[in-house]
Amino acid sequence: MEEERSVGWIDYVIVSDAKTDRALIREVLAHDWASAETSRWVRREMKAGTATPAMYDRLGQMHKVGDALQLRVCARAKELRASGALPADEATADTWHDYRAGLASPYSSEDEPEHRA
């Protein structure tokens, strides 16, 4: 028996050609990048012992913006699905998620995460 593929809400939006959906995707990617940069900044400051409460507040704000953005993606995807739109095929979704994961990683190539067992 073949395992059913998991489909995320974003998988509906990434294949839409609507200008508003393309703008939403650009906003998601911009937020991913900004959030990763903020995380890197806070991690560098923590490592140097110079992190401040304001930095943690900024990180919290980034998470709130991300949460609100995810709610918008979800609402739009539900509209698309209700109109009969199909989600991205597996290859397209995999490419999107791989790209987004690299963009949103809070680690730079010089600062790989420590593995803890």
Instruction: Check whether 105 has a pLDDT greater than 80.
Output: no
Q: 41-45, 94-98, 99-103, 108-112: lowest mean pLDDT where? A: 108-112
- Averaged confidence pLDDT in the chain: 87
Per the model's pLDDT, the better-predicted residue between 75 and 97 turns out to be 75
Residue 101 DSSP code: H
| 103 CB-near residues (< 8 Å, 6+ apart) | 29, 32, 33, 36
Domain that includes residue 46, residue range: 14-104
99 lies in some domain: yes
67 lies in some domain: yes
64 lies in some domain: yes
Per the model's pLDDT, the better-predicted residue between 107 and 51 turns out to be 51
C-alpha torsion 58→55→105→115, nearest 10:
-140
Distance in angstroms (rounded) separating the CA atoms of residues 79 and 81? 5
Instruction: Check whether 11 has a pLDDT greater than 90.
Output: yes
Q: What is the number of structural domains in the chain?
A: 1
